[in-house]
Amino acid sequence: MKIKIDTTGLHESKWYEYVVRFAFGGTVTALAGVIAKHFGPEIGGLFLAFPAILPATATLIEKHEIEKKHESGKHGTASGRRLAGVDAAGAAMGCIGLAVFALIVWKELPQSSLLLVLVEATISWLMAAVGVWLMREKLWRRLARKIHTFHSVRAVARHPESSVDRNSARGREK
């Protein structure tokens, strides 16, 4: 799978869907500020880590996929949910990078310059997120190979006469 930027989805969204995302994200951020003011910045920071846009985005992804499949005469609920799940998996991988970013800022900022720490944390975030994605890809391919091998062995076990016929036919060709 190649990493690419696809802007076609921008044309599929309606203006009010962007307003919903912005309003939801802004509301969560404002609530995190209120919590931080009342309980302190450590607790408020935990609420800033809430994926404010993800729930709105996931529902819109599912809705758009259902609409697209419906136009072609298909039922797209399963496909929409799968795409929303893929988006959520990407967000989870990004969150691991975000945790690395936060850890670096938390540990390095008291003794280093803000600009240096932000550059270091941003590069580390990118490396962590891409590293997790690459590791997932490698594990997914390995799992897919094992599943394919397992199904191939089961098919031969279910129909051994077909594999014997093929082997005897090969023996006759020699």
Largest CA distance in the chain: 84
Q: Which residue has the tokens 């997120």?
A: 129
Position 26 scores a pLDDT of: 82
pLDDT band, residue 50 (cuts 50/70/90):
low
> What is the C-alpha R_g of the chain?
24
Q: Find, among 80, 84, 99, 86, the residue nearest to 133 by Cα.
A: 86
Give me the mean pLDDT over the 59-84 stretch.
Answer: 78
Q: Which residue has the tokens 């509301």?
A: 27
Position 112 scores a pLDDT of: 94
- Sorted by sequence, the CB contacts under 8 Å of residue 115 that are 6+ apart come out as none
Highest mean pLDDT among 19-23, 25-29, 128-132: 128-132
How many other C-beta atoms lie within 10 A of the C-beta of residue 110?
8
Provide the mean pLDDT of the chain: 79
Position 3 scores a pLDDT of: 67
Chain Cα centroid distance, residue 153: 32
Q: Find, among 51, 61, 48, 52, the residue nearest to 17 by Cα.
A: 61
Helix axes 114-158, 160-173, angle to 10 degrees: 80
For residue range 97-155, what is the model confidence (pLDDT) as tens digits?
988 998 999 999 999 999 999 999 999 999 999 999 899 889 988 888 888 777 676 66
Position 30 scores a pLDDT of: 86
Position 92 scores a pLDDT of: 82
| Residue 43, both tokens | 């607790």
Position 101 scores a pLDDT of: 93
